[in-house]
Structures are given as C-alpha cells and as structure tokens.
C-alpha cells in the first residue's frame, strides 16, 4: 500500500479545506480591523470632550446655567428659653433669647419672560447662550396668616429681608430693583443665610409693611447658557416664556402645561400648585431642598455631530463584516483569489470613512458630512473592486450594496428610539440574503489549476 508523501498530504488537505481556512483568515481579519475602529471611537470621544471644555469655558465667562428661586421672605424671630436655678435662698428664673429664622414663600408668583438666544463662536465650535428679560410679580400673605404661630412681639421685623436666588451673578446685566407696596427697593448681593438659597440677592424691607399682605414686582435682565430654570415657590406659580429658539428642550420636575414650537421659535407656560411639591409655604425649623422641584427650558444645540458620529462608529463591525463576507463569496464564485492584504486595504478604507465623517462634520452639518464621506468611500472601494475582479459588473454590485448599507445606517442614526427594532430586522434580512446565496457555493469543490485561496 502506497502512502501519500508529506507534500501530497499537505496539498490534499489544503485542497479539501481551502475555503474553511480562508474563511477563518477572513474572520481573523475582521477582528483585527476592530482595532482601528476602537482608536477612531476614542478620537470621537476626545473631540466631544474638547467641545464640552470649550462650552464650559465660554459659559463660565458669559454666564452658566441660571436658576431663579424666589423671592422668599426671611424673617428673624426670637425664642425665649427659661432656665430655673435653685439657690441657697430662693429659685431664680433666667430667660435666654435665641434668634432663629422663619421662611415664608409667596402666595402668588407670576413670571413672564422672553429669551434672546445667541451663538458664540470659539475655534470651530458653536456655543448657544442667551439673554433674558423676566418680569416677576406676586404677593405674600400676612405673617399673621401663616402657620408659623410666632407671637408678634417676637418677630424682628426690622431685620426681615426679601431674598432672590440666582445661580450665577455674572449674568446680571442691570441693577435689580423691586417695587414693594409701591416703594422702590434696591437689591444687594448676599443672603442672610445659606440654609435655603446658596447664591442670591437680598434687600431689607420696611418694617411697617410686612405684617400685612404685600405685593412685589421686579424686572430681571439675566444672561446665561445651556438652560434657564425656575423653582416654583409660589402657592400658585405661573411661568410663561417666549423665544426665537426653534429647538428647545423641556425638563425638570414639571413639563409645560402648554407649549408651541415652530421654526420661528417657541412659547411655553407652566402652572404649578403648592400641592405638587414636597415642602410647605412657610416654616421656621428644618431645611428643605426646594431646588429639587425646579423645571427648566434648555437651549441646547439641535445637532450633536459627535454623538451621531459615535453612533455610526458602533456599526463599524457591521460594515467590515458584511463587506469582507461579500468579498469572500464573490471571490469563491468568481474563482479569483484575494490576498489578505487586499482585504486589509478595503477594511482601512471603511475605517477612514469615520475619520472623514468626524472631521467634515466639524465644519458642515452632519447630514452633508455623512453624504460626502460615504460617497468618497463608496467610490474608492468600487474602483478598487474593479481592479481586483476586472469587471464593472462586480464593482457596481459592491458599490450598490455599500450605498444601501450606508443609507441603512444613516436611517438608523436618525431614528434613535426605534433604531434597535429596525436595525434588528435589517440585519435579519441581510443574513437571510447571505444564507440564500451561500447555497450555491460548493464548499468542498477542488480549485481549478492556478487558483488558490
């Protein structure tokens, strides 16, 4: 019995398993091409972080996000503590007076304002900031009408102050004045304490006026960036805003009860009752984090190219795997061997698409950048495929399939919330097509002379 030589055995093994071996090599190449995809993802993340740094830098010099809280009436009062001391002859009662603070929120609070957006430019980045004009008015109930139960003689009315919380003082454009029962008062920086408000303005009130029902009115011109928020401290709080910004975001503890958004801008209004919050209208002991009830409108950029680019990078494995699989099948059907280096070159072209998308989207809108980067990549791979398979039919097939794939991914990026279901269905259809056409491949057929994997 004649046994095959070592060279014959190697040749027979290669002939019988050449497609399996080539498939393993292609699979390894797909995994290898994930390395540049990971570097590109890091690059996108770094550019996004750089944008965030620029936004914070510009915002810190203009004014950061603003939160308006109040006004809040702060009234000191005295508490008598009696201490009895027994002496050798008699009992002596000593009275110690401690000063504490009561906080009273307005009965009615109405805020009507307009937001004037503005785009600031720093390097290649655009930062949305705003100026605003807010008309704030309302009234306080009499102190006797509150649930504080403080004797009138213990109230230090001459030390009472009205406080207005503002997050960033850099945003105050004009002197803040207020009409209090038809008297004009001027606010100053600083608060009597920081138990309720962390930053803000305050003004001393006429002692003779705050025992009765009091009305107030003030106009606040305030700059800020990113968002403008309000804390609903009124027993009934009503806020109405108008702006020419066409892409607002509403968030916080309450959403607008009414809103209208058009290409020319938006209008929105909120109405919040004290029953919707978890803190009272007045208190004299304990602390409440009243800012937790805040709501806001955001003037964020409508298009975040870095977020969309990062989402597209996540589909890199899909591009590379499907393209390599298609090359592998065409290679078998056309009986023309493709070298692993040529696979890598195609994979690099697919990876460079993301760097093109990233760099172009920093200057153009994301949709235009995506179209330019995709067109350049499709043309490059189509021409390279023509040189590999020497036929325009195969090259145009690749170009058409890549166009469909880039279009499919673009749609997924736009869908956002429903991307998972449509993406899953699309991948299922693609897999079904590949499985259908793979039936025609004779996996154990011997190669023709001169053809190798």
What does pLDDT average to over the chain? 79
Higher pLDDT, 421 or 401: 401
State the span(s) of the chain assigned CATH 2.60.40.
65-302
Look at residue 329 and give its three-state secondary structure. Answer: helix
Give the pLDDT score at 419.
62
Quickly state the pLDDT bin for 270 (edges 50, 70, 90).
Answer: very high
The answer to whether residue 135 scores a pLDDT higher than 90 is: yes
Please state which of the ranges 88-97, 109-118, 270-279 shows the lowest mean pLDDT.
88-97
Higher pLDDT, 10 or 110: 110
pLDDT tens by residue, 24-81? 777 777 777 778 777 877 877 877 777 777 777 777 778 888 899 879 888 888 877 7
The answer to whether residue 125 scores a pLDDT higher than 50 is: yes
Q: Which range in 110-114, 157-161, 202-206, 444-448 is most confidently predicted, on average pLDDT?
A: 110-114
Provide mean pLDDT across the span 94-120: 84
Q: Are strands 236-243 and 108-122 parallel, antiparallel or unpaired?
A: parallel
User: Residue 116: how many CA atoms within 13 Å on its side-chain side?
Assistant: 7
Give the pLDDT score at 94.
61
Q: Which range in 12-16, 88-92, 408-412 is most confidently predicted, on average pLDDT?
A: 408-412
Look at residue 56 and give its three-state secondary structure. Answer: helix
Q: Quick check: pTM over 0.95?
A: no
Higher pLDDT, 400 or 22: 400
The answer to whether residue 308 scores a pLDDT higher than 90 is: no
Quickly state the pLDDT bin for 205 (edges 50, 70, 90).
Answer: confident
User: Residue 249: how many CA atoms within 13 Å on its side-chain side?
Assistant: 10
Quickly state the pLDDT bin for 230 (edges 50, 70, 90).
Answer: very high
Quickly state the pLDDT bin for 453 (edges 50, 70, 90).
Answer: very low
Quickly state the pLDDT bin for 195 (edges 50, 70, 90).
Answer: confident
Provide mean pLDDT across the span 203-220: 77
Give the pLDDT score at 359.
83
The answer to whether residue 451 scores a pLDDT higher than 70 is: no
Token pair listed for 64 = 């950061």
Please state which of the ranges 180-189, 296-305, 342-351 shows the lowest mean pLDDT.
296-305
Distance CA 98, CA 80 (A): 7
Instruction: Give one DSSP letter per residue of 108-167, joined into a string.
Output: EEEEEEEEEEEEEEETTEEEEEEEEEEEEEEEE--GGGSS----GGGB-GGG-EEEEEES
Q: Which of 67, 63, 272, 73 is nearest to 178 (CA)?
A: 73
Quickly state the pLDDT bin for 397 (edges 50, 70, 90).
Answer: confident
Provide mean pLDDT across the span 164-168: 88
Provide mean pLDDT across the span 390-413: 82
pLDDT tens by residue, 324-366? 777 777 777 767 777 778 778 888 888 888 888 888 887 888 8
The answer to whether residue 109 scores a pLDDT higher than 80 is: yes
Q: Which of 272, 234, 227 is nearest to 250 (CA)?
A: 227
Give the pLDDT score at 450.
43
pLDDT tens by residue, 233-248? 989 999 999 998 888 8
Structural domain 65-302, CATH architecture: Sandwich (2.60)
Give the pLDDT score at 182.
79
Provide mean pLDDT across the span 248-261: 89
Distance CA 181, CA 232 (A): 22
Provide mean pLDDT across the span 216-227: 88
């Amino acid at each position: 019995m004649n046994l095959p030589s070592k060279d014959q055995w190697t040749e027979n093994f290669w002939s019988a398993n050449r497609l399996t071996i080539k498939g393993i090599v292609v699979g390894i190449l797909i995994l290898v091409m994930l390395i540049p995809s990971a570097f590109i993802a890091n690059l996108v993340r770094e550019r996004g972080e750089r944008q965030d740094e620029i936004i914070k830098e510009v915002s810190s010099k203009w004014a950061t996000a603003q939160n308006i809280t109040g006004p809040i009436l702060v009234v000191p009062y005295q508490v008598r503590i009696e201490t009895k001391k027994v002496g050798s002859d008699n009992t002596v009662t000593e009275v110690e007076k401690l000063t504490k603070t009561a906080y009273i929120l307005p009965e009615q609070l109405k805020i009507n304002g307009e937001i004037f957006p503005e785009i600031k430019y720093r390097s290649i980045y655009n930062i949305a900031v705003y100026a605003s004009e807010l008309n704030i008015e309302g009234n306080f109930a009499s102190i006797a009408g509150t649930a504080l139960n403080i004797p009138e003689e213990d109230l230090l009315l001459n030390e009472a102050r009205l406080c207005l919380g503002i997050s960033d003082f850099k945003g105050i454009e004009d002197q803040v004045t207020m009409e209090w029962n038809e008297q004009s008062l001027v606010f100053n920086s600083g608060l009597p304490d920081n138990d309720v408000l962390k930053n803000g303005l305050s003004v001393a009130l006429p002692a003779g006026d705050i025992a009765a029902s009091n009305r107030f009115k003030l106009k606040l011109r305030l700059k800020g960036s990113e968002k403008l928020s309000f804390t609903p401290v009124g027993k009934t709080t009503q806020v109405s805003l108008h702006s020419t910004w066409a892409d607002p975001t509403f968030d916080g503890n309450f959403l607008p009860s009414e809103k209208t958004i058009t290409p020319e801008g938006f209008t929105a209004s909120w109405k919040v009752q004290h029953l919707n919050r978890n803190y009272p209208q007045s208190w004299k002991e304990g602390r409440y984090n009243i800012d937790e009830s805040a709501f806001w409108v955001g003037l964020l950029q409508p298009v975040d190219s870095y977020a969309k680019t990062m989402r597209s990078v996540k589909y890199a494995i899909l591009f590379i795997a499907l393209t390599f699989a298609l090359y592998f099948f065409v290679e078998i059907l056309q009986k023309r061997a493709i070298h692993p280096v040529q696979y890598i070159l195609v994979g690099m072209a697919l990876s460079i698409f993301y760097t093109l998308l990233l760099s172009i989207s920093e200057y153009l809108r994301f949709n235009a950048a995506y179209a330019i980067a995709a067109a350049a990549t499709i043309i490059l791979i189509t021409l390279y495929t023509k040189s590999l398979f020497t036929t325009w039919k195969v090259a145009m097939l690749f170009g058409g399939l890549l166009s469909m794939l880039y279009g499919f991914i673009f749609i997924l990026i736009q869908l956002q919330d429903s991307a998972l279901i449509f993406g899953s269905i699309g991948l299922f259809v693609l897999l079904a097509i590949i499985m259908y056409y793979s039936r025609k491949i004779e996996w154990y057929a011997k190669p023709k002379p001169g053809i190798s994997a």
